Structures are given as C-alpha cells and as structure tokens.
Amino acid sequence: MKARFLVPLALFIGLVILFGAGLGLNPREVPSPLINKPAPEFSLPALSDPEKSVSRQNLQGGVTLFNVWASWCVACRQEHPLLVEIARKGVVPIYGLNYKDTRPAAQEWLARLGNPYVDSAFDEKGRVGIDWGVYGVPETFVVDRSGMIRYKHIGPISPEDWEQKILPKIRLIQEEKG
C-alpha cells in the first residue's frame, strides 16, 4: 500500500522540481547549434527588387548583423528605432531577412519607419528562417567576415542588449585577425 502511494508522490515531486527549474531559465538564451558554424547557404530575392538577390555571400567580408523581422511583428516594431540608429552610426552593416511577410506590407513598413538594412532578403514562405534555426521574430545573428555565425540574439534588441552583449561581441570579432 505504501509503495502505491509513494511512487506517484515521488513522480509528482520530481515533475514539480523540473517545472520549477524550467521557469528559472531565460527563453532568450536558447543555445543555437549554429554558433561557430558557417551560416546556412541561401539565395532569395531582395525585398526592394525581386530581380536582385541576397545571399550568404552578402554577409561575408566583414562583421555583419543579420536581423530576422516582419512587418506584422510587434516586437520588431519595438527594436526597429534602435536598428535605424545603429545603421545611421555605421557601426556594422545590417542585412535583413523579411520572414513570412508580404512584399507590399514589408516595403511600406520600411518606408514609414526607416530602412536600417543594406539589403533585406524576402523569405515569404519562411524556409530560410528554418535553416537558420529561427524560433520566431525578431532574431539577430552576428556573422563574422568568413561567414561564421558567432552570436544569436532571440527577441527584440534593447539598448542594454546592444551595449552589453552585442556590441562587445562585434568589437571583439572586429579585432580578431582574419
């Protein structure tokens, strides 16, 4: 009789402990298997001009930010002024991946709010986003001069995230001999 009672109780306590530990984890710090690996190959039409393409090669040659965004994304709207400011200062080139959006909505959004991107790839179906391990938008990757993903930020970039996490990582990579 005791064993029949103790086994479910022990299982319940174990589940409560696991659940409690999971609540303490930061969902923005999901480890990416792509860190220190080559950025996935892709070639998509440019948002601005379907006759042009944006590919992995655009991200090579210097340290770049690759920002996954959408016009329907509330959190993207939140981080957008900071991206515009970063682009204005010329700290690092920013390329975009417009994710599961419509071309007219995305173009209108950039025209209204400002365009921080050197260029933005148009990923209407979201397939390239899947290759990059995108969980949702926005997500931002730091890609080094050889095309390796060195950092992934999940969620909107706040000024604190930029100053304390992303910019120091960019500076460190820029100082590396390549």
* Mean pLDDT across the chain: 90
Q: Where are the domains of the chain?
A: 35-175
Q: Is residue 142 within 8 Å of residue 65, measured between CB atoms? A: yes
Choose among 137, 139, 2, 153: nearest CA to 71.
137
Is 90 exceeded by the pLDDT of residue 41? yes
Q: What is the pTM of this model?
A: 0.83
Q: What average pLDDT score do residues 80-84 get?
A: 99
Q: Which residues contact 62 (CB under 8 A, 6 or more apart)?
A: 92, 93, 145
Q: Which helix (H) or strand (E) holds 96?
A: strand 94-99
* pLDDT digits 0-9 by tens, 11-35: 667 666 655 554 544 444 556 778 9
Is 70 exceeded by the pLDDT of residue 82? yes
User: Which position has the higher pLDDT, 1 or 56?
Assistant: 56
User: Which position has the higher pLDDT, 25 or 3?
Assistant: 3
Percent of the chain with pLDDT over 70: 83
Q: Would you state the pLDDT for residue 34? A: 86
Q: Which CATH number fits domain 35-175: 3.40.1010.20, 3.40.30.10, 3.40.190.10, 3.40.50.720?
A: 3.40.30.10
Beta bridge partners of 46: 121
* pLDDT digits 0-9 by tens, 94-131: 999 999 999 999 999 999 999 999 999 999 999 999 99
